[in-house]
Amino acid sequence: MKKNIDNENINKLCEKCLNKCKQQKTVTLVSCPSFVPKPKQLFFKFKYNKLNENERK
């Protein structure tokens, strides 16, 4: 039987994966053949100069 692993003891690579085959922190993982990355929400910060009223025209 497979043991349930609490979220604190999950390997870093497994934390980023969607699959349920999580490994413990003590296991050294170099790569995983069944790795499926979790989707990430990307945020872009746009920087722009505000135009004066005279420059808009």
What is the per-residue pLDDT for 55? Answer: 61
Q: What is the pTM of this model?
A: 0.58
Angle at 42 between CA 9 and CA 32, to 5 degrees: 40
Query: What is the reported pLDDT for 7?
Result: 77
Parent domain of 41: 1-57
pLDDT of residue 46: 84
Report the pLDDT value the prediction gives residue 1, as an integer from 0 to 100.
43
Average pLDDT, the chain: 84
Bridge partner list, 13: none
Please count the structural domains in the chain.
1
CA 32 – CA 14 distance, rounded (Å): 9
Residues of the chain predicted below pLDDT 50? 1
